[in-house]
Amino acid sequence: MNDQLSDEARKLLLEPLLANGWVEVEGRDAISKTFEFRNFVEAFGWMTRVALWSEKWNHHPEWCNVYKTVEVVLITHDLDGFSALDAKLARKMDGLV
C-alpha cells in the first residue's frame, strides 16, 4: 500500500479529501487539516481513537494538540510523499470526529 501513486490515482484520492477541508502542504508532498473540538477532553479522546487505528495500520500522523485544537499532517515518510495510506487515515480521522 506504500507505493507511489499514479497521477490519476492521486487525483481520485485527493479530491474528496480537499473537498472535506484537507489542504496540500506547501513545500511538502503531504496533506494537513486542523480539527477543533468543544474542549480538551474531546480533542484528546479523538486523538486516542486515531492512535489506535494508526497503530493498527502502522501509519502515524504528525500532529500537535493545544487545548481543543489538533493540527494534523499526513505524509508517508518511507516515500517522502502522499500515499493511499495517508488518504485512508485521513478518511478515518474525518469519520471519528
For 66-87, the pLDDT digits (tens) are: 999 999 999 999 999 999 999 9
Q: Which residues have a Cβ under 8 Å from the Cβ of 87 and sit 6 or more positions away?
A: 13, 14, 17
Q: What residues form DSSP beta bridges with 53?
A: none
Please answer whether residues 5 and 82 qualify as being in contact, where contact means their C-beta atoms are separated by less than 8 angstroms. Answer: yes
The CATH architecture one would assign to domain 7-96 is 2-Layer Sandwich (3.30)
- Give the residue among 65, 68, 62 at the shortest CA–CA distance from 89: 62
CA distance 33 to 10: 18
The 10s digit of each residue's pLDDT in 9-61 is 999 999 999 999 999 999 999 999 999 999 999 999 999 999 999 999 999 99
CA distance 51 to 57: 10
CA distance 61 to 85: 11
pTM over 0.85: yes
